[in-house]
Structures are given as structure tokens and as C-alpha cells.
Chain A
Amino acid sequence: MSVYSLYVINKSGGLIYNRDFTEAARVDTNDSLRLASIWHSLHAIAQQLSPVPGCTGIELLEADTFNLHCFQTLTGTKFLLVVDPHASFIPALLQRIYELYSDYVMKNPFYETEQVIKCELFDENVEQLIRRYLQQAM
């Protein structure tokens, strides 16, 4: 059970927040920016390739060593959480992170929308939330 990293992507595909919770999960800065914009495009392509109408994009990507959960808000901001394949309740955790984002980022008067998130309160609360989640999961 582990949470590896959190990415927040704005509606045009730019990386606005990146946080790694383990040392091995750290990705080169350039690569993380590119991964974010690649994910943004893959998300859009997967919608177009849908065999049935009404697809809103990838929600879960399963790989050998990790699962990536994606939550897209109505405004197009995406929250990505890279977790262990056995982790549970991740959609609920993402929902909580979105709440923290609305409380501590959107309500911050100095925050400019679509720009990089530099909010101490958001950092602290995400940290706490993940710590609580990991304790409960154990």
C-alpha cells in the first residue's frame, strides 16, 4: 500500500503541481512536464477512440508496478495519483484532494488560475491527508 506521486494538470495540459511521496518515484523535471502534457493528449485521444459514445477520458491506467488514477473536474483540471496496484479508495482520496484544492488554492487571493500552485496550506494539507490515508490503510 503506497501513494507515489500527485500531479495536477491545468485545462491546457500544463503541469501546475507535482509532489512525490517516495524517493524512487521522482521523475526528471523536464520529463514530468512532458508526461503531464502527454497525459492530457492521451486522455483526449482515448475519448475519440471510444467504441461507445459518451466517453469522458481515462480514469484508471493499470501497469505492472503501479496504478494511475485520474480525476477530471468539470473545468478540465486533472488530478493524477500514482499509487500501488493494491491501494483502495483512491477515487475518494482524489475527491478529497480536489476539496483541498478548492479550499486552499482557489480561495487563495494571490493564486492566479492556470498558474503553478505555490500554496503552503495546500502542501501541508495534502501531506496530512496522505499520511492519514496511509495510516488507515495499514
Chain B
Amino acid sequence: MFGLIWTLGNFCATLDPKDPSKPQLGTPRKIGQGCKFRSFTTNNYKCNFLEVPSGIKLVLNTHREAPDLSDVLQSLYDDIFVEYVVKNPTYNPGQPFTSEQFMNALNAFLRQNGLLQQQQIMQAAA
């Protein structure tokens, strides 16, 4: 999954049809640089993606008819990840985390947005 997301990021930066000075494929990119991708849709699922400036990547798989979820992902990061993970004193940045409170808040958040299907939180070293 990480490989897919990372490659799609590079792919979009190189393909960007609005930027005449395209970065060559495979040149290192800074976080948030170039054209970013938001989601891809297949015949039976949709994968929504958000990368925040610290390099944390959020991936949310939903059913394919889901609307544009970039705002939902941003508020998921702001209200859930930051509140329950970053502010957790036992959380070690860059390490996997398990927190019941986070899971409960996440479930409540997704239920509130009407998309309790499946979620995955991926972490990447910044």
C-alpha cells in the first residue's frame, strides 16, 4: 500500500499537465511539493489519500460512490489524530500506536460522516 501511494505521488507530480517544468520521474520531492493526488476509484472501491506537512499519510478506503473526502480527511487529522494520538503522552512519533480512545473517536467520527466501512491509518517517517 505504501509503495502504491508513494508511486502515485511521483506519478502525479511528473504527469501534471498544468506545470510545464515537470520534475523528472524519480527525482526526490519534498513533502507537499508538486501536484498531489487525492483519491483513486476502481470498479468497487475508492481510496482517499491525504498527506499532512509532517509526512503523516492518511488513507481511507471507502465505497466507490463516496464524494470528495479531502475535507473529511483533514478534519479526521485535526480532530482525531492530533487530539488522541499526538497529544497522547505515551505516543512515540513514528511508531505504531494502539489507543482505545482513538479507535472509539475514529469510529464515532466515521459514523457521524456516514462512512463506517473500513479504515486504515498509515504512518510514514517524516
Contacts and interface: CB of A to CB of B under 8 A. Distances in A.
Q: Do A and B come from one complex?
A: yes
Interface of A: 4-5, 22-28, 30-31, 34-35, 38-39, 42, 45-47, 49-52, 54-66, 68, 82
Range of interface residues on B (Cβ < 8 Å): 20 to 34
Given A51-B118, A55-B42, A59-B41, 8 more contacts: A35-B14, A35-B15, A35-B25, A49-B4, A62-B68, A63-B12, A64-B37, A65-B17
Contact of A46 (B25, B35, B42): B42
Interface string B8-45: 10011011111110101100000000011111111111
A6 B68 CA distance: 25
21 contacts: A27-B14, A31-B14, A31-B25, A38-B11, A45-B3, A50-B44, A51-B45, A51-B61, A52-B44, A52-B45, A54-B44, A57-B43, A58-B42, A59-B41, A61-B39, A62-B68, A63-B12, A64-B12, A64-B38, A66-B12, A82-B15
Given A27-B15, A27-B22, A39-B11, A49 B1 contact: yes
B16 to A, nearest CB: 6
A24 B40 contact: no
Contacts of B39: 61-62
A4 B19 CA distance: 12
Contacts, number: 106
A50 B15 contact: no
Contacts of B45: 50-52, 55
Contacts of A60: 40-41
Contacts of B17: 4-5, 22, 24-25, 65-66, 82
B7 interface: yes
Contacts of A54: 43-44
The 7 closest A-B pairs by CB, nearest first: A25-B17, A4-B17, A60-B41, A63-B37, A63-B12, A24-B20, A65-B18
Contact of B24 (A28, A47, A49): A28
Contacts of A61: 8, 12, 37, 39-41
Nearest to B21: A24
A66 B118 contact: no
Q: Which of B7, B22, B42, B61 has the most CB of A within 10 A?
A: B42
A57 B64 CA distance: 12
Q: Which of A27, A46, A59, A62 has the most CB of B within 10 A?
A: A62
